[in-house]
Amino acid sequence: MTREQEILEGLAAQDNLRSLKTLRAEGPSVYHSDGHGGEKGYCNLSSNDYLGLTDPALQRRFLLSADAERFLLGNPSSRLMTGNSPAYERLEETLARLQGAETALVLGSGFAVNSGVLPAVTQKGDLILADKLVHASLIDGLRLCDGVRWQRYRHNDMEQLAALLARAQSEGYGRIVVVTESLFSMDGDFAPLEELARLQQRYGFRLYLDEAHAFGVYGPPGREGAGLLAAYNAARPALPLKAEYHAVTFGKALASVGAALICSRETKELLINRMRPLIFSTALPDISLEWTRFLIGLFPEFGPRRERLRELIGIVNDILRPGNAYRSQIIPVRAGSNENALRMVAALRDEGFWTTAIRHPTVPQGEARLRISLCANHTPDQIEQFATLCRQLG
Ligand code: PMP
């Protein structure tokens, strides 16, 4: 047996073999081959298009409004060579204005931001404390931090974080960075921003906050879509939380591609000089940068979509998790074993619902789940039917 066969057979034995399926996802639906040369449509509960912006009507509006034929569809150079087109500057200005920040640095993906920023801004003698459930891209970023000590604290456990910060005070680290997400990608729960603000006031750490799943969806009145940090700071001006490194991505609620770090000019300059995914990777095409900027410009218009999403979140939670404190557009449906998760996925698919099983080792053994994400273009009836079915299967 080859090494490849051995590894793949091992994964199959644990019900953990992945495969790529050819799918066409658009708004609330996803289409898959029906096995007879045609397509079958499913209600898509597996996309991060939370606001339903993969919308042909919006695309047409963009293409007409932006004189988009002029935009190059590729950008065969890195930003430091000849790829830094004016569209980058326009988008970075838009982001900085939205966040009330000095500036922003746009990159090709959230993975590039998360794996590239921490190694560039930390050095030997620093300490990083990261929530146990932060995204794989952040874990890779931690692994790339040369000579930096890092430790993970139990998910959202502010008591443990406080104890680690107190201990670190006496250990004389250069700089301490706390890393978390505002809305967690797998569990759909929120970081306790107020507690973090309190700890930041006391211990003065730098915060790295990943808002991949909150950007576009949440925000304070008048700055809808800016994210949960903006919402928190607008609600609690007396106890502000500062994120020195504030990551947002465009491939989820924005239905675009790319990501940005909202930061100071000084941090940006350092990153331009030290961040490997920026220095050694191809720039984004203007068409993507401008599409992202176009959608951010429409944030105030998306109120009805956010309202509908809130309604759907309420329906699912009332049926599947009454009394649950966290209510977001990401809902983990517990399945237990990998095998049971796959069984639930198949049963839901038979009923026209497309979900994906998240299995061990992505999540701990016995905690396999379906990660449900809602889209503003789902109908309340669809979602009620889905949640009821889940409860029956559950
Ligand atoms: N951060 C989080 C929390 C994510 O869930 C993801 C994507 N799954 C990323 C970062 C990576 O973003 P991108 O897909 O733009 O690389």
- Of 260, 275, 297, which marks where a domain is finished? 297
Same domain, 95 and 211: yes
pLDDT value at 369 more than 90 = yes
Q: What is the pLDDT of residues 189-228, one digit of tens each?
A: 999 999 999 999 999 999 999 999 999 999 999 999 999 9
Same domain, 94 and 141: yes
Return the pLDDT at 174: 94
The partner residues of 261 in beta bridges, in order of sequence, read 105, 247
Are residues 371 and 356 in contact, defined by beta-carbon separation less than 8 angstroms? yes
Are residues 267 and 118 in contact, defined by beta-carbon separation less than 8 angstroms? no
CA–CA distances in Å: residue 190 to residues 129, 145, 183, 196, 330: 18, 26, 5, 12, 11
| Closest C-alpha residue for ligand 1 atom 10 | 110
Specify the 3-state DSSP secondary structure of 212.
Answer: coil
Query: To the nearest whole percent, how much of the chain has pLDDT over 70?
Result: 100
Q: Quick one: which of 367, 392, 322, 348 has its CA closest to 45?
A: 348
Ligand 1 centroid to residue 110 C-alpha, Å: 5
Residue 169 within a domain: yes
Same domain, 293 and 326: no
Indicate the pLDDT class of residue 67, thresholds 50, 70 and 90: confident
| Closest C-alpha residue for ligand 1 atom 11 | 110
Residue from 252, 356, 373 to probe ligand 1 pocket by mutation (most atoms less than 8 Å from CB): 252
Q: Name the token pair of 268.
A: 């940006």
Ligand 1 centroid to residue 171 C-alpha, Å: 33
Residue from 47, 249, 288 to probe ligand 1 pocket by mutation (most atoms less than 8 Å from CB): 249
Q: Quick one: which of 309, 306, 325, 270 has its CA closest to 117?
A: 270
Same domain, 207 and 146: yes
Indicate the pLDDT class of residue 328, thresholds 50, 70 and 90: very high
Residue 56 within a domain: no
Residue from 50, 117, 132, 135 to probe ligand 1 pocket by mutation (most atoms less than 8 Å from CB): 135
Same domain, 171 and 84: yes
Same domain, 222 and 318: no
Ligand 1 centroid to residue 258 C-alpha, Å: 10
- Of 248, 267, 297, which marks where a domain is finished? 297
pLDDT value at 325 more than 80 = no
CA–CA distances in Å: residue 186 to residues 134, 181, 213: 9, 11, 10
Ligand 1 centroid to residue 111 C-alpha, Å: 6
Query: To the nearest whole percent, how much of the chain has pLDDT over 90?
Result: 88
Q: What is the pLDDT of residues 279-308, one digit of tens each?
A: 999 999 999 999 999 999 999 999 999 999
Helix, strand, coil: what percent of the chain each, to 5?
45, 20, 40
Return the pLDDT at 32: 92
Q: Which CATH number is 384's domain given?
A: 3.90.1150.10
Return the pLDDT at 27: 82
Q: Which CATH number is 253's domain given?
A: 3.40.640.10
Query: Annotated active-site positions, please?
Result: 48, 135, 181, 185, 210, 213, 252
Comparison of pLDDT for 34 and 314, the residue scoring more: 314
Report the atom number in ligand 1 closest to the C-alpha of 112. 16
Residue 44 within a domain: no
Indicate the pLDDT class of residue 14, thresholds 50, 70 and 90: confident
Return the pLDDT at 360: 83
Ligand 1 centroid to residue 288 C-alpha, Å: 17
The partner residues of 103 in beta bridges, in order of sequence, read 263
Domain count, the chain: 2
Ligand 1 centroid to residue 244 C-alpha, Å: 19
Same domain, 287 and 328: no
Average pLDDT score over residue span 11-26: 90
Specify the 3-state DSSP secondary structure of 337.
Answer: coil
Residue from 137, 183, 184, 330 to probe ligand 1 pocket by mutation (most atoms less than 8 Å from CB): 137
- Of 261, 282, 297, which marks where a domain is finished? 297
Q: What is the pLDDT of residues 165-191, one digit of tens each?
A: 999 999 989 999 999 999 999 899 999
Residue 53 within a domain: no
CA–CA distances in Å: residue 205 to residues 154, 161, 163, 239: 18, 11, 14, 15
Same domain, 80 and 111: yes
Same domain, 313 and 285: no
pLDDT value at 321 more than 80 = yes
Residue 2 within a domain: no
Residues within a 6 A CB radius of ligand 1 = 109-111, 114, 135, 137, 181, 185, 210, 212-213, 249, 251, 259
Average pLDDT score over residue span 251-272: 98
Q: Quick one: which of 110, 48, 115 has its CA closest to 258?
A: 110
Same domain, 359 and 247: no
| Closest C-alpha residue for ligand 1 atom 12 | 110
Question: Which domain, by its residues, includes 129?
Answer: 62-297
Total residues belonging to the chain:
394
Residue 259 within a domain: yes
Residue 42 within a domain: no
Report the atom number in ligand 1 closest to the C-alpha of 257. 15
Return the pLDDT at 310: 96
Same domain, 210 and 353: no
Return the pLDDT at 364: 83
Indicate the pLDDT class of residue 365, thresholds 50, 70 and 90: confident
Does the pTM exceed 0.90?
yes
Same domain, 82 and 132: yes
Specify the 3-state DSSP secondary structure of 211.
Answer: coil
Residue 46 within a domain: no
Ligand 1 centroid to residue 269 C-alpha, Å: 24
pLDDT value at 326 more than 80 = no
Return the pLDDT at 219: 97
Report the atom number in ligand 1 closest to the C-alpha of 258. 15
Mean pLDDT of the chain: 95
Return the pLDDT at 34: 85
Helices (H), the chain: 3-13, 56-65, 86-99, 110-121, 136-143, 158-171, 193-203, 228-235, 265-274, 276-279, 286-297, 303-320, 338-350, 380-393
